Structure 1
Amino acid sequence: MGHTHDHDHSHAVGGTADQPVLDMSIPDSELSPAEVSRRGFLRSAGLLGAGTAAAAAGAFAVPEVAMAHDHGPLGRSWAGHSRVNDLLWLAGDHHIHTQHSSDGQYRVVDHVRHANAYGLDWMVITDHGSVAHAKIGVDKVNPDIVAARKEIDDTLVFQGLEWNIPAAEHGTVFVHPGRNEVAVLKEFENTFDGVVKNATDPTPANEALAISGIDFLADAVTKRRVHDALFLANHPARKGIDSPHEIRAWRDANPRIAVGFEGAPGHQAGGIAAPVGPGSGRGGYDNSPSAASFPAYPLESYRTWGGFDWMTATVGGLWDSLLAEGKPWWITANSDSHKVYLDNSKVGGGDFTTNGRYDDPVYAGSFAAGNSDFWPGFYSRTHVGSADFSYAAVMAGLRAGRVWVDHGGLISGLDVRVRAGGSWVTLGDTLVVRRGTPVQLVVAIDLANGPNWAQFVPKLARVDVIRGAVTGPVSDKDAFSTPGTRVAKSFDVNQSTGRVTLSYDLGRVDGPFYLRLRGTDGNRTAPGYLGAAVDPAGPAMDVLGSADPWTDLWFYTNPIWVVPNR
């Protein structure tokens, strides 16, 4: 599936190949001559300090990146998937519940079959952390996952869990499949789950327990108990209890494990007026502040904006304040599927506390009122640039930030590059250039090439380029805005089929900055939360009980950084 090369390219800083270079615990004497040269370049550029890995907290931490090669236009390769930049772009979902969750009902294989039918290449089973799940549920779901892997071998099925983060909300934790996947997940949940350990209150001790959980996962990888492990925070603004300093602490504790949060939550059918019910919110975001909530969050943060979490949807908001530190923190989108909208099955019964699961679902005879979810792949997708079709490659792509997300099949393919002369990088990467070098953004978008699962062909109306300066680590760990980040350029899209190519001159580089992209069908927009000068036409705040997800579609990308080396 790969290509051979007889020519050289300049590449971004970081990536799997650069890990020995970035690991300052490895002396120069143990590196190859090429790696010693690479490390010397990073030092001279001010991007690698003595004793400090580039991924650690610092003045400017360089994100991990892909080794990208140019092979012309978007290609098609393995099983009809897009191969761009020598990468397979694999669609997936990291937040899915089964009958092993106290509020779920479907079998593992039900979700996997639907995900496969709706085009997903990878997925994570994340049943809720609980006393019953920690005791027996982790063990009991594993044979179902193993069986589904064998039955449907063209969808990668990870085992994970939804972590009740001590002092905070929920998060996805998952590991690479292997002989210790159950043991590591079980030990993690029994030792660090907020519900299991009665550690849900927002106290310093409980916040420290969350950090210990991230450290445990890192140690499990270091000691090779599991090949890899990742953590992403789920629905971070839903209840207002994920404070900015907690999110920063998770990220800084180990950026190889704690890599991001849901830019868009699941439960996307929740805003439909009926039969979900009046007053319900898209994404389940229909809450109000509580005693545990971070008090500085505004009331608007408890709602989705165009189906996206307020932390992501706000230009110049919390996500941008993290990116402006120059540190990797990625967004995803998923289904959080528990009970599917307009599905006519119901929980099969059984003693969940005793058995760690419900019986198989049964026919209900009518649609269940209140169901607010879609099947995995039906609406939300996280697209990951992967070196190949494997568990390891998907996890590496997520860690590197080679990710874009969409709702409702708004577009079918995306290639984003920032280039300077013959050098270029893609999503999650950092382009290092001489000060004063002119830099250009080039984007290729494959428009929707057929009807989505709601049986219409979406129309992309506009693409926005969002740009912000890198200002370094913040003194206030609870900062959730950053000055200067704004929509720098908007492109109207005036065609409905084929490929759209956009280019934008970013000027001569005189300081570090980042950029990210956003696209919309244009059906529902409003000035952004921080005002029209920052975001003239961003997503509008979703209305409780009246937010049809199919009439308000967006895509978002993860960022690219540009850094002058002198």
Structure 2
Amino acid sequence: MKYPLHIYGTALLVLGMLSGCNSSDDSSDDKSLPVEPKGRWVQGDMHVHSTASDGHNLVSSILDIGYSKFGLDFIASTEHSGFKRYEINEGLWRMRVTGLPILNPNPTEELHSHDYAKDQYPDDKVYTSRAADNNKLYQHLVAYREQKLIDDNADKYLLTGMEYTMPYIKEHTTLVLLDDGDVDEINEFHYLYGEGDRFEDDPRKQDMDDLLEAVTFLEDNYADRAFLSFNHPSRKHEVTIEYIRELHNAAPNIIIGMEGAPGHQRNPAARGSYEMEEPIYLDEFSDYQGPAYNGRTYGGFDYMTARIGGVWDALLSEGRRISVFAHSDFHSMIKDFWPGEYSKSNIYLEEENQQGLLQAIKDGKSFVTHGDLISDLYFTAHEAENSNNHAWMGDELKVPAGKNVDVTISMNLPLQNNNGDKPDLAFVDVIAGRVTGPVEPGDPNFTKPFADNVEILTSFEKDDPSWSLEGQTLTLEFVIPEVTEDMYIRLRGSNNPKGTPNFVDEQGNPIIDTQKDNYDPAALAWSDLWFYSNPIFISAN
């Protein structure tokens, strides 16, 4: 760390619970949150695949299991875009011809019918056979929504989109576009900007300008109805910070985040299917300890998220609203957990409709968990002595320069997860960084994947006096004194105490998962749990 923040956190004993109950020692004090909740937490998965692309299971069975067995509140259907290398398989074709969904003929193998798709669609992508296939899938999704969600469970949501492979960068994103039962708009986008072999000899779709045109199209036409989030960003070393910056500059209402934790968490080959053996070091930033990029997971999380002062912190230090999500990327039980079984994106929902859910996802009022380590996280900051001036995750708190900021963290500690275990939260770190403004194209630091001025502001460990647990509710408080610089704060925590060999170092950082190769992949996943929150931004005026 090059420049310390010069801000210090002081742990305070908590006297009340989230509900506003007072301690027995001082029953006259109101210790409720600065602002009482008005909505509810919903849990979801925005990255799943069925037999309509390269998954093993019917889309209806995946949805049934996610909603009914594992209690999800929302799921986004994200079959692959394009054809051949974008993994359309015979499922869509047979779905259109027969009008029925299909079963994977060989459930012991992953299904990638690239050659079949190439033969069936040698010079076609959308608006003909491909469009008909896509429309048939959406008819099934809309019917499911109307028959099983709207009628029986008005509080559950099914979003539609696709796993869009970006041209030029050639890596995946989750694209969600509210459809209202009509897929003409996403078909149009796919036709215009989905890359496929049709364009191998075409000068279009070959450079960064084509990708910028695609996200600008979404920004211009669907800024309030769509978003893109980078999937497994470090998996292939294709996504780098300058690409994220350039795309976010072009479409700040569309580019909203990344998978902080990839799917495929029980893949026996490599956790998260992150198999890049060699990390990347950048000579121009060689004074920063450790690699710039790493294609392996750390505690199941992407290096961009897991490294303090890494890519995510660098983006936040510019004031960019970039969230992290955690999804299953479900294809099969060969290497995946079911939607909602292990990975969850927790979104704070205030407006009960699809538009409200999409906006809540984009607003960053969210946190991610593995193995239900925590739930119902209320993370707020307010100006000392003025609780009416407050902010939640995803928000910005503006305070007069020199004022203290009080921070309240309250969460539920679940009694049991889907492995039958009681998750045991061992510590919570508060990570803080300075906000220094955007890095513009042409700046030598535009390719810099590191942030200065990032540190663990304060830490709470189980059984410390400041660890205030009543029932299942853990409440923590601290003060940031005399704030004079713009900053952000975010949270992380694990079930393994600091200094646990091969899992957590002495500072609380996750250790690279390749040091745990002797563990069964499923057992490893359940024994190595983390949560990460999105930030609160604090501005000193």
The bucket for the TM-score relative to the shorter chain is: 0.7 to 0.9
Match of 1:158 in 2: 159
Match of 1:244 in 2: 241
Change (3 A) 1:258 1:373: same
For structure 1, the residue ranges without an aligned partner over 5 or more in a row are 1-71, 76-82, 271-275, 341-370
Contact 2:427 2:495 in 1 (8 A): yes
Please say which of residues 466-475 and 399-408 is displaced more in the overlay: 466-475
Please say which of residues 303-312 and 498-507 is displaced more in the overlay: 498-507
Match of 1:518 in 2: 492
Residue 481 of structure 2 corresponds to residue 480 of structure 1 = no
Aligned amino acid, residue 141 of structure 1: L
Change (3 A) 1:122 1:525: farther
CA distance in 2, matches of 1:525, 1:204: 48
Residue 173 of structure 2 corresponds to residue 171 of structure 1 = yes
Change (3 A) 1:330 1:196: farther
CA distance in 1, matches of 2:292, 2:270: 14
Q: Deviations over 1:314-366 (max 9, x none)?
A: 000010000000121111000000012xxxxxxxxxxxxxxxxxxxxxxxxxx
CA distance in 1, matches of 2:512, 2:235: 14
SS at match of 2:460: strand
1:399, CA displacement in angstroms? 1.1
Change (3 A) 1:315 1:528: farther
Residue 243 of structure 2 corresponds to residue 212 of structure 1 = no
CA distance in 1, matches of 2:58, 2:158: 13
Aligned amino acid, residue 302 of structure 1: G
Match of 1:10 in 2: none
Match of 1:105 in 2: 56
Contact 1:334 1:381 in 2 (8 A): yes
Aligned amino acid, residue 185 of structure 2: V
Contact 1:316 1:481 in 2 (8 A): yes
CA distance in 2, matches of 1:96, 1:239: 19
1:184, CA displacement in angstroms? 1.4
CA distance in 1, matches of 2:139, 2:491: 41
- Which aligned pairs between 1:251-270 and structure 2 lie closer than 5 A? 251-270=248-267
| Equivalent residue for 2:48, pick from 71, 83, 96 | 96
Residue 393 of structure 2 corresponds to residue 427 of structure 1 = yes
Match of 1:563 in 2: 539
Match of 2:145 in 1: 149
CA distance in 2, matches of 1:246, 1:300: 14
Residue 478 of structure 2 corresponds to residue 504 of structure 1 = yes
CA distance in 2, matches of 1:212, 1:303: 31
Aligned amino acid, residue 426 of structure 1: W
CA distance in 1, matches of 2:188, 2:434: 42
Match of 1:48 in 2: none
Please say which of residues 248-257 and 306-315 is displaced more in the overlay: 248-257
Please say which of residues 329-338 and 154-163 is displaced more in the overlay: 154-163
Aligned amino acid, residue 329 of structure 1: I
SS at match of 1:109: helix
TM-score for both structures, normalised by structure 1: 0.72
Aligned residues: 436
SS at match of 1:302: coil
- Which aligned pairs between 1:256-295 and structure 2 lie closer than 5 A? 256-270=253-267, 276=268, 280-288=269-277
Aligned amino acid, residue 391 of structure 2: V
CA distance in 1, matches of 2:260, 2:189: 25
SS at match of 1:151: helix
TM-score for both structures, normalised by structure 2: 0.75
SS at match of 1:383: strand
Contact 1:460 1:496 in 2 (8 A): no
1:73, CA displacement in angstroms? 3.2
1:205, CA displacement in angstroms? 4.7
Match of 2:310 in 1: 317
| Equivalent residue for 1:404, pick from 342, 359, 367 | 367
SS at match of 2:446: coil
CA distance in 2, matches of 1:299, 1:228: 34
CA distance in 1, matches of 2:402, 2:295: 42
SS at match of 1:268: coil
Residue 480 of structure 2 corresponds to residue 541 of structure 1 = no
What percentage of aligned pairs have identical amino acids?
31
CA distance in 2, matches of 1:73, 1:469: 29
Q: Deviations over 1:94-133 (max 9, x none)?
A: 10101111x2121111111111121111111101112274
Match of 1:376 in 2: 339
Change (3 A) 1:563 1:488: same
Change (3 A) 1:374 1:510: same
| Equivalent residue for 1:462, pick from 405, 411, 427 | 427
Contact 1:115 1:375 in 2 (8 A): yes
Q: Deviations over 1:148-173 (max 9, x none)?
A: 11232133111110111112210000
Contact 1:84 1:415 in 2 (8 A): no
CA distance in 1, matches of 2:358, 2:472: 31
1:198, CA displacement in angstroms? 4.5
1:140, CA displacement in angstroms? 2.2
Change (3 A) 1:408 1:173: same
CA distance in 1, matches of 2:160, 2:47: 11
CA distance in 2, matches of 1:452, 1:497: 17
1:287, CA displacement in angstroms? 2.1
Contact 2:142 2:181 in 1 (8 A): no
SS at match of 1:325: coil
1:513, CA displacement in angstroms? 0.5
SS at match of 2:207: helix
Change (3 A) 1:305 1:438: same
1:557, CA displacement in angstroms? 0.3
| Equivalent residue for 2:75, pick from 97, 113, 123 | 123
Contact 2:199 2:205 in 1 (8 A): no
Residue 528 of structure 2 corresponds to residue 552 of structure 1 = yes
Contact 1:459 1:521 in 2 (8 A): yes
- Which aligned pairs between 1:68-107 and structure 2 lie closer than 5 A? 73=18, 85-101=37-53, 103-107=54-58
Contact 1:409 1:452 in 2 (8 A): yes
1:496, CA displacement in angstroms? 9.0
Contact 2:139 2:181 in 1 (8 A): no
1:387, CA displacement in angstroms? 1.3
Match of 2:380 in 1: 417
Contact 2:18 2:473 in 1 (8 A): no
Aligned amino acid, residue 128 of structure 1: H
